[in-house]
Chains A and B, each alone.
Chain A
């Protein structure tokens, strides 16, 4: 009982993910600033932002669905810390239960659902527009993301356990094959869409529909939405590391490798973010269904015949 609480609240779960996420969020802002020849924010910027938002006034919109408006960021926060535990335990300690892949797949949708519910509960036009776009984006990337998870399952001989997937890569990571490379790249783009980062930041388009679903949020509630976004910087790359890059080997030089693997995914995400303009929603849908889906389907067939 106590160890479970420790896992959930401290080490692979809540506290670790929040701290690492805030630091990686700083890396994102700093690298983006260097891309534009700027200096960028100081190291503790995201911590300051979060604590500042905790002390601001919370405005609850008069016409909003009050319970939904307040609970959406906290439900999303709880789901993400649970997700961090479920992904972190097999990665760091090698513990997991059979079929946890399915639990992870379902929990990953909940954040998007909460964004939709929280955004549409305010009654604001721009928030509803953003919520509608979020639904379309989930429709676009969800199938591809399930295929991305399916490829390692097939390649490992139909294991449905994250720790078994990691130990199946002990002789060589899945990225060393053709289907591995294709699946990894598709997974990277899916993460970009799930985090609503630059080419796919359609729901939160700041210059167009002013932050979309988050527009009416203020104070601590907004702070928790921002925190959720930073936690996703940890959760999704960790999942991709355990699916395609062979997990972490935390002994000796393995620690350096682990940090490099994680930073590789984060830096690739930041590069994609900074070099691509925002797509239209129909272009994004076409990109996922017409271009990425055939590629990932071919990769799945390659995985079945073992190339």
Chain B
């Protein structure tokens, strides 16, 4: 599997799940595709359908409406799939910790491989997260 994992590390296709975010993380994610950061040089591509994806970027907090949808998207994705949780809302629920419509933590819904905290995380932090994922795959 070593050879295949190296191929996988060089072409991670990313699907973006907006799980009721405040849009701040989403804007920073789109920043990664702009000329300044240009993640295509690492082979990373943003795809529109979860059937094509290798990585799910999840941002926002998990409430009652979004929980079944995240579960469904995860089961629709072809395996192997990695889940990267973007933002403080995902890792520690941020300012929404005491909110009335908060439901669960994301790790109780789907298995999460990597956390990138920050509100919103800097693009450099997200690139570091992706580079760590690639490093794990290359081992």
The residue that B40 contacts in the complex, of A29, A211, A217, A218, with Cβ under 8 A, is A29
Which chain A positions have C-beta within 8 A of B49?
210-211, 214-216
A119 to B73, CA, bound (A): 21
B78 touches A57 (CB 8 A): yes
B48 interfacial contact with A, CB 8 Å? yes
A49 touches B11 (CB 8 A): yes
> A48-B7, A222-B52 are known contacts. Are A56 and B43 too (CB-CB below 8 A)?
no
Within 8 A of B (CB), among A265-288: none
Q: Least Cβ distance of B54 to chain A in Å?
A: 7
B10 touches A45 (CB 8 A): yes
B57 interfacial contact with A, CB 8 Å? no
User: Looking across the interface, which residue of chain A has its beta carbon closest to that of B33?
Assistant: A38
Chain A residue total in the interface (Cβ 8 A)? 31
For chain B, what secondary structure do more than half of its interface residues adopt (helix, strand, loop), or is it mixed?
Answer: loop
B38 interfacial contact with A, CB 8 Å? yes
A37 interfacial contact with B, CB 8 Å? yes
B2 interfacial contact with A, CB 8 Å? no
Which chain B positions have C-beta within 8 A of A218?
51-52, 78
Q: Least Cβ distance of A133 to chain B in Å?
A: 16
Which chain B positions have C-beta within 8 A of A48?
7, 10-11, 43
The residue that B8 contacts in the complex, of A45, A52, A216, A219, with Cβ under 8 A, is A52
> A41-B41, A211-B48 are known contacts. Are A55 and B11 too (CB-CB below 8 A)?
no
A58 interfacial contact with B, CB 8 Å? yes
Contact with B along A37-78 (1 / 0, CB 8 A): 111111011001101100111110000000000000000000
A37 touches B35 (CB 8 A): yes
A52 touches B78 (CB 8 A): no
B107 interfacial contact with A, CB 8 Å? no
A3 interfacial contact with B, CB 8 Å? no
A58 to B79, CA, bound (A): 9
The residue that B7 contacts in the complex, of A29, A41, A55, A222, with Cβ under 8 A, is A55
User: Looking across the interface, which residue of chain B has its beta carbon closest to that of A51?
Assistant: B7
User: Looking across the interface, which residue of chain B has its beta carbon closest to that of A55?
Assistant: B4
Q: Name 28 A/B residue pairs within 8 A (Cβ), A-sorted.
A: A33-B38, A36-B35, A38-B35, A40-B40, A40-B41, A41-B40, A41-B41, A45-B10, A45-B43, A48-B43, A49-B11, A49-B43, A52-B4, A52-B10, A55-B4, A55-B7, A56-B54, A57-B78, A206-B48, A210-B48, A210-B49, A211-B52, A214-B52, A215-B49, A216-B49, A217-B51, A219-B78, A222-B52
Give A contacts to B, CB under 8 Å: 29, 33, 36-42, 44-45, 48-49, 51-52, 55-59, 206-207, 210-211, 214-219, 222
